[in-house]
Amino acid sequence: MNPMAIQGMRERCAEQARRLQDRITEALAGISGSVFQEDVWSRPGGGGGRTRVILEGELFEKAGVNFSEVHGELPPEFARKLGEEAGRSQTPSEKSDDPADRQFYATGISLVLHPRSPRVPTVHANFRYLEKGDTWWFGGGADLTPYRLYTEDAVHFHRVWKLVCDRHDPAYHPRFKKWCDEYFYLAHRKETRGIGGIFFDYLSGDAERLFAFWKDAGEAFLEAYVPIVERRRGETFPPDEREWQLHRRGRYVEFNLVYDRGTVFGLKTAGRVESILMSLPPLVRWGYHADSMEAGKEDLSGPQAELLAVLKSPRDWV
C-alpha cells in the first residue's frame, strides 16, 4: 500500500475496532446484567486505548474487552525479532537497525472472558492490524477453553468460524484451524490450551480483501460464543468442578505469560500493564498432581479425562 492508502487503512481498522468493542460490550452487558468499568488511557510514546472490564459479576467472574491504537519506536532487538517473524510470510526486512524500520503502528481489539461457572467456557478473541517500517499485516482469531467438554458447543464454535472463513477463501479454515491448534500449545505440558478455533497472523497482500475478512471475523464473535453461554449458564455443578476449573485456569496463565504474542508485544512496546494482563483469571490454583485432583492418582475418568484427551490430541469438529 502507498502512504495514503496505509493512512486510510489505519483509520478504517481503528474505527472498526472501536465499533466492535462497543457492539461486544453492549451485548455482554445485556446477557450478564453487569456494567463494564471503562478506563481511557494514554501510552507514553504514542497512542492509547480504552479498556472495559467486568469484575465479580454473576455470570462473568472477570471479563475484559480492550481497544488500543498505539504507535512509536520498537526496541532494536524486538524490532529484529518481529521482522524475522513477519518475514516468514513477507519479504524479510534487512533494516532492523534503521530507526525508520523500527517505527510501528498497531490497532485492534482483544478480549478474554472468564465465566464464574465451570460449565461455561472461557473464550479469547483478538483482531489486530499492525505496521512495522514499510510492512503491514492483519492478525487475529478466537479460541475456546472449556472446563467440561460438550460436543455440541465445540461443533457450534468451530462451525461459525468455518462459515466465516469459507465466505472469503475455502483454504482459510483448514489453515487457520491448524494454526490455532499449533499456536495455543503448551509445549511443557504437551497439550493445547483449549479446543481451538482459528488463528491467523502476518496476512498481507490484497489489503481490501484481507480487511473484509478481518472485519467479518470480528463481527462473528458474538454468534460463535453467546449461544454457548445461554445454553450452559443455568446448569448446576458440584464443588469438584469448580476446583477443576481453577486448576485448568493455571494452564491459561502459563500460556499467556510464557507464549502469547500479544502479551509479549504489549510489554515490549511499553503498553499499559493493566490492560495487557487483563486476560489473566481472577482466581487460579496450582496443585501438586492436580491433573488427577488427587495426589498419587495417575489417571482421570469421566468428563475430565474426556477433556484432557482432546487437549492432548486436537480434533476436527466440522
Q: Domain locations in the chain?
A: 3-312
Written as one string, the DSSP assignment of the chain is: --HHHHHHHHHHHHHHHHHHHHHHHHHHHHHH----EEEEEE-TTSEEEEEEEEES-SSEEEEEEEEEEEEEE--HHHHHHHHHHHTTTSPPPS-TTSGGGGEEEEEEEEEEEEESSTTSPEEEEEEEEEEETTEEEEEEEEEEE-SS--HHHHHHHHHHHHHHHHHH-TTHHHHHHHHHHHHTEETTTTEESSS-EEEEEEE-S-HHHHHHHHHHHHHTHHHHHHHHHHHHTT----HHHHHHHHHHHHHHHHHHHHT-HHHHHHHHTT--HHHHGGGS-SS----SSGGGTSTT-----HHHHHHHHHHHS-----
pLDDT-derived band at 21 (thresholds 50, 70, 90) equals very high
- Rounded to whole angstroms, the Cα distance separating 84 from 78 reads 10
Q: Which residue has the higher pLDDT, 296 or 156?
A: 156
Active site residue 124: yes
**Tens digits of residue pLDDT in 83-126:** 777 765 544 444 556 778 889 999 999 999 999 999 999 999 99
**Tens digits of residue pLDDT in 139-161:** 999 999 999 999 999 999 999 99
Q: Tell me the average pLDDT across 63-90.
A: 81
Give the lowest-confidence range in 32-41, 70-79, 169-178: 70-79
Name the class of domain 3-312: alpha beta
Residues 6+ apart with CB under 8 A from 150: 232
Q: Is the pLDDT of residue 311 over 80?
A: yes
Q: Give me Rg for the CA atoms of the chain.
A: 19
Q: Is the pLDDT of residue 15 over 90?
A: yes
Mean pLDDT, rounded, of the chain: 90
pLDDT-derived band at 291 (thresholds 50, 70, 90) equals low
Selecting among 71, 114, 124, 188, the annotated active-site residue is 124
**Tens digits of residue pLDDT in 213-242:** 999 999 999 999 999 999 999 999 999 999
The four Cα atoms 114, 165, 311, 28 give a dihedral, to 10 degrees, of: 10
